[in-house]
Amino acid sequence: MSKSVIHVAVTGAAGQIGYALLPRIASGAMFGPERKVFLHLVEIPHEKALAALQGVAMELQDCAFPLLDGMLCTSDLEQGFGDCDWALLVGAKPRGPGMERNDLIKENGPIFTGQGKAINDFAKKGCRTVVVGNPCNTNALIAMHNAKDMPREAFSAMTRLDENRAKAQLAEKAGVHHTKVTNMAIWGNHSATQYPDFENALIDGKPVADTIADRAWLEGDFIKTVQQRGAAIIKARGLSSALSAANGLVDHVRDLVNPTEKGDWRSVAVPSDGSYGVPEGLICSFPVRVKKDGGYKIVKDVDLSDFGREKLAASVAELEHERSVIAELLA
Ligand code: NAX
C-alpha cells in the first residue's frame, strides 16, 4: 500500500534557507525516495515577499520533481498550517544594525505565539514542529507554550548545523573523513554559548584525544570556531549560512523519523526533562536517540566532566535569561 502524502509547512519560504531547502524536501532527501510531499509555502503578507514566493513556486514547478504532489503559497496561517504533518519554522526577522540580542528576541517572539496557536488549531494532531528562525531555542519555547494541545515532545529547535560544523572541524584537524566522527553532541543554546562536546565525541570509535592530543586547541580554537562559524560565513559570503542550514534541517528531520545508529546520537534542542540539571521545559540541545517506534530519548548516561558541566551551565543561564525576556509570551 502506498504511504499517504506528507504535508510540510515551511515558513520564510521565500528566504535564502527556503531556497536551498525546498528542492531537498521535494526531491526526497528529507522523507525518503518513496514519500510524496505537499508543500505549504508560508510568507509574510508583503507584496515583495509574496511575489518572490510565487517565483520560488514557479521554479519548484519547473523542477518537475516526481515526489512533489503539489504546493500552495500563502500568508494565511490557517491555510499555511492546515492539516500539516510537519511545521518547519524558518522565517524570522533578521538582526538589524545596532540591534541587541534581547531586541531580536522581543521582535521575533510574537511571530512564534501566532504560529504556535495556528499549529495548535489547524495542523494535524501529531504535527511536529522544528524551529530554525533565531533565536531558535527560545522561539521553539514560545511556539510550544502557545500550542497547548500538542505534545511537548513534538517541538524541537535545530542545532544539527552546529553538530555538522563540529564534526567537520574535528575531521579536518585529525586528517580523517568527517564520517569517521560520531557521538558529537552540541549542548545548550544555538548561540555563541553552545558547547560542542569533544570529550564524548569519537573518531573512528575512539576518544577524540587519542587522535587529537592538542587539548589547548580542543578547549580553545575548536570550540570558538564552531561557536563563531555563522559569523565567519557572513564575513566570507556577505550573507548568512543558507545551504548548510538547509542541509542541517534536512538531517535534523530525517534523523528524527529514523532510528539512530546503534551507539551514536544526534544533537537536537528539545524540551528538557530535567536531565543534567537543565531546568525542565527549557528547549536545550542534548544528545538524543530516536527509537524504533519513532519516539526519542535524551541520552542519560553521558559523562560530562567539570569542564563540560561549566560550559553547559553558561549556555543554560543564557537560555534562562532569554526565557525571562519573553516571559509574558509563555501562555
Ligand atoms: P532570510 O532573511 O533570507 O529569509 C527569511 C524569510 O522569512 C523572509 O523571506 C521573510 O519574509 C520571512 N519571514 C519573516 N517573518 C515571517 C513570518 N512571520 N512568517 C513567515 N515568513 C516570515 O533569512 P534566512 O537566511 O533564510 O534565515 C532564516 C532564519 O534562520 C533566520 O532567523 C536565521 O537567523 C536563522 N538561522 C538559523 C540557523 C540555525 O542553525 N538554527 C542557522 C542559519 C540561520 O542563521
- Encode pLDDT of 270-314 as tens digits: 999 999 999 999 999 999 999 999 899 999 999 999 999 999 999
Maximum pairwise Cα distance, the chain: 56
Residue 265 identity: W
Among 69, 68, 72, 114, CA closest to 91: 114
Return the CATH class of domain 160-325: alpha beta
Other residues' Cβ atoms within 10 Å of the Cβ of residue 219: 14
Percent of the chain at pLDDT above 90? 95
**What number is the average pLDDT over the span 55-75?**
98
Average pLDDT over residues 62-82: 98
Mean pLDDT, range 255-264, rounded to an integer: 97
The answer to whether 204 touches 180, Cβ cutoff 8 Å, is: yes
Mutation pick for ligand 1 pocket among 19, 43, 155, 233 (CB with most ligand atoms within 8 Å): 43
With CA atoms as reference, report the closest residue to 18 among 132, 122, 119: 132
SS3 call for 130: strand
Arithmetic mean of pLDDT, 155-166:
98
Ligand 1, atom 32, lies closest to the CA of 133
Does the annotation mark 190 as catalytic? yes
Report the alpha-carbon distance of residue 320 to residue 125 in Å, rounded. 29
Amino acid type, 40: H
Q: Residue 196, Cβ neighbours under 10 Å: how many? A: 28
Instruction: Give residue 2's pLDDT band: very low, low, confident or very high (50, 70, 90).
Output: low
Query: What is the rounded distance in angstroms from the CA atom of residue 186 to the CA atom of residue 159?
Result: 7
Which residue's C-alpha cell is 501529531?
A: 126
Is 111 touching ligand 1 by the criterion CB < 6 Å?
yes
The CATH classification number of 6-157 equals: 3.40.50.720
- Find the 242 Cα to ligand 1 centroid distance in Å: 9
Domains 6-157 and 160-325 share a fold: no
pLDDT exceeds 80 at position 96 = no
Strand order in the sheet with 86-89: 68-74, 37-42, 6-11, 86-89, 128-131, 155-157, 266-271, 283-290, 296-298
For position 3, what pLDDT does the model report?
Answer: 81
CA-proximal residue: ligand 1, atom 42 (nearest): 245
Q: Is the per-residue pLDDT at 204 higher than 80?
A: yes
Between 102 and 113, name the one with better pLDDT: 113
**What band does 101 get if pLDDT is binned at 50, 70 and 90?**
confident
Average pLDDT of the chain? 96
Residue 118: count other Cβ atoms within 10 Å of its Cβ: 24
Q: Which residue has the cell 509570551?
A: 329
Q: Quick one: average pLDDT of 223-252? A: 95
> 313 C-alpha to center of ligand 1: Å?
28
> Quick one: DSSP state of residue 32?
-
- Mutational pocket test of ligand 1: of 22, 46, 134, 270, the residue with most ligand atoms within 8 Å of the beta carbon: 134
Q: Which helix (H) or strand (E) holds 69?
A: strand 68-74
Start-to-end C-alpha separation, the chain: 42
User: Does the structure show a pLDDT above 70 at 160?
Assistant: yes
Q: Which helix (H) or strand (E) holds 87?
A: strand 86-89
pLDDT of residue 225: 98
Domain boundaries, the chain: 6-157, 160-325
User: Cell numbers at residue 215, please?
Assistant: 587539548
Please give the number of the atom of ligand 1 that sits closest to the Cα of 241.
43
Residue-level pLDDT at 215: 98
